[in-house]
Structure 1
Amino acid sequence: MAEYPGSEHERRVPAADLADGVARIFEAAGMGPADAALLADSLVHADLRGIHSHGTLRVPDYVKKLTTDGVDPRAVPVVERRAGAAIVIDGANAMGQIAMDLAMRTVIEAAGEHGIAMAAIGRSNHCGAMDYWAMRALPHDMIGIAGTNALPTMAPWGGAEKLVGMNPLAIAVPAAEEPAIVLDAAFGMTAHGKIRVYAQKGEPIPEGWATDAQGNPTTDAVAALDGLILPAGGHKGIGIGIMVGLLSTLLADAGYGLESGNMEEGAYVGRDGQFAMAIKIDAFRPAAGVKARVDQIA
């Protein structure tokens, strides 16, 4: 197996201490205290839920984005346009978490009035694990839905060129006494970040996850980082990934596929796109009854 410089030692730390330390790192990278704390909380949340591909593993990448890759650590996303429950958010080239925070707060407020609301987010960047955002709706007796585009790591079914991103989707449905039912899934066999976790540990990935740069099936995690991730469910996985990418980009004029991040007039401009939705259960049926039924299903 190819070598990858990973950590030789692992140790456990309290989640609150980890979040505080990560927030301090982001402050040192130029973020304000509140935004740094939000960014750190999203990463620690992912680690606590076992989504290490979107957890504190991302800290070095995020620092690089904030300090050398052109993401604006002090950007303030704004509501660019609103027509009732239809909302467009200008991410202002901030980290995606800052834009998604505004988006979820806005759709939750709008769904309270209209029953359902959706925000399209443009000029954004990587926003972490999507379940973090969908779950924001749960305390409000709402169903949360969130999706994002991503740089291509998959080929269309039967192809050999990276054209489709993992484009994950999360849906969170509240329950009464049981834990909420939450889906957070990309539409490849695995997430690119999970392959990085295997590479850091020097472990092989499962068969059927990826190919190397020449298109050969591989279990070498480092070789897979240069190759293709295989779609889950073949053409169905590719199809769902394409549609999530379209929902994440078209309504906010964000970049699709290789357009996600680009240089404009010599400066990096984040062109990731996301979408966020909130559905007020009481607008359809009494929330207590719906959540009790979710308990039965769970």
Structure 2
Amino acid sequence: MTGTLNVTLPEIESLATATLKVANVSEANAASVARSIAFAERDGQKIVGLSYLPYYCEHAACGKVDGNAVPVLTRPSAAAVTVDAATGFAHPAIDLGILPLTEAAKETGIAILTVGNSYACGSLGYFVEQLAERGLVAIMTANASPSIAPHGGRTPFFGTNPIAFAAPRASGAPLVIDQSSSVVAKVAVIEAHRRGEVLPVGWALDRDGNPTTSAEAAMDGSLTAIGGYKGVGLALMVDLLSAGLSGAHFSHEASSFGDCEGGPPRTGQCILAISPERLGIADFAARSESLLTALTHEPGTRVPGARRLTARQENAARIEVDRDIWMSLEAYAAGAQRAPA
């Protein structure tokens, strides 16, 4: 059976929660992860939405990630918040630190949250937007298992290592920029491989370091860094911020996000939150708005993240999802013996 279904945001969140609980994820952790999945579907980011849920379930079921982990928060200083994810999902660990980070930034002007012993966190934009909604400027990094070869090399060493930025604006939702250090996220190549699709030119390299459009060859090779050596430099910075400051595994030390081998990856995340108000910039949101207005003055230009906001508006009442994915998740949540492929 093919096609789509129209469902609501609460329905997506409910199904995702039920599916994760079957995979031995606690109620609290499942709810945290499910919320991010539902919001990804709402914003048209399906690559980290329901289609990614089977990977979460598989890894929770096999012990790659501890679905029952209880993250632990500490406050080493007034401007620093640290969370040990205890090899559990990144989402509940970050959720635990968001409010203390907000309070610290509004008190001191700038604060940092680091999360170690963690796992994949999906969309970074989902987290930084929450801080921008509270009047803060936020920058987030997260390292991942190896996917990008160093410049001039052939063997994956860095993860896709995404970075996100969010800032409040005077009207509408905050500005959110969310991108990986690679031309495309690894999960996009995995999905193409699963579907037997050809990759666009420029996405990946084969094991010999040559450009390839074969998803199979890309799975055995590496992703192309965005901007060549500049993207590799970005991946290095993300590794040092995410893992270096949290004590987590660097990308080359982390086990793969793509299978059940090697135990928990123990990667990390880092979020910086800045209060414009504490810096004496009371009109930051208004000035941001004027900048974005000027940016779009020329016909054909658009603000980064505009497509995400358009999708959010279109999906306000009902969200179109893949029928096969939805039905396979429903079957798994009802007691299937294995995570849906």
Q: Please, what TM-score do these two structures have when normalized by structure 2?
A: 0.79
Determine if contact 1:175/1:295 at 8 Å carries over to the other structure: yes
SS in 1 for 2:76: strand
Aligned in 2, Cα 1:171/1:14: closer, same or farther, shift over 3 Å?
same
Aligned in 2, Cα 1:189/1:136: closer, same or farther, shift over 3 Å?
same
Q: Which runs of 5+ in 2 are unaligned?
A: 293-341
SS in 1 for 2:161: coil
Equivalent residue number for residue 272 of structure 2: 277
Equivalent residue number for residue 268 of structure 1: 263
Matched, 1:244 2:238: yes
**Aligned runs of 1:1-298 on 2, under 5 Å?**
8-261=2-255, 268-287=263-282, 289-298=283-292
Determine if contact 2:251/2:267 at 8 Å carries over to the other structure: no
Q: 1-side partners of 2:3 and 2:217: how far apart?
A: 23
Q: 144-153 vs 277-286, which deviates more? A: 277-286
SS in 2 for 1:283: coil
Determine if contact 1:53/1:196 at 8 Å carries over to the other structure: no
Q: 2-side partners of 1:216 and 1:245: how far apart?
A: 25
- 1:44 corresponds to which letter in structure 2? A
Q: Number of residue pairs matched? A: 288
SS in 2 for 1:145: strand
Equivalent residue number for residue 336 of structure 2: none
Determine if contact 2:255/2:265 at 8 Å carries over to the other structure: yes
| C-alpha deviation, 1:47, in angstroms | 2.6
| C-alpha deviation, 1:8, in angstroms | 4.8
SS in 2 for 1:207: coil
Q: 39-48 vs 168-177, which deviates more? A: 39-48
| C-alpha deviation, 1:214, in angstroms | 3.7
Equivalent residue number for residue 4 of structure 1: none
More strand by share: 1
| C-alpha deviation, 1:198, in angstroms | 3.1
Deviations 1:116-171 (A, max 9, x none): 11022111111111111111102211112211111111111111111111110111
Deviations 1:172-230 (A, max 9, x none): 00101143211101111111112233334443221011122343322223332222111
Q: 1-side partners of 2:241 and 2:62: how far apart?
A: 30
Deviations 1:20-78 (A, max 9, x none): 11111112222333321210111222232232222221111111111113422121111
SS in 2 for 1:281: coil
SS in 2 for 1:152: coil
Q: 2-side partners of 1:189 and 1:40: how far apart?
A: 27
Determine if contact 1:77/1:98 at 8 Å carries over to the other structure: yes
Q: 2-side partners of 1:8 and 1:259: how far apart?
A: 40
Q: Alignment RMSD, CA only? A: 2.1
Q: 1-side partners of 2:64 and 2:226: how far apart?
A: 33
SS in 1 for 2:133: helix
| C-alpha deviation, 1:295, in angstroms | 1.2
| C-alpha deviation, 1:286, in angstroms | 4.0
Determine if contact 2:155/2:221 at 8 Å carries over to the other structure: no
Equivalent residue number for residue 308 of structure 2: none
Larger relative contact order (CA 8 Å, sep ≥ 6): 2
Q: Please, what TM-score do these two structures have when normalized by structure 1?
A: 0.89
Q: Which runs of 5+ in 1 are unaligned?
A: 1-6
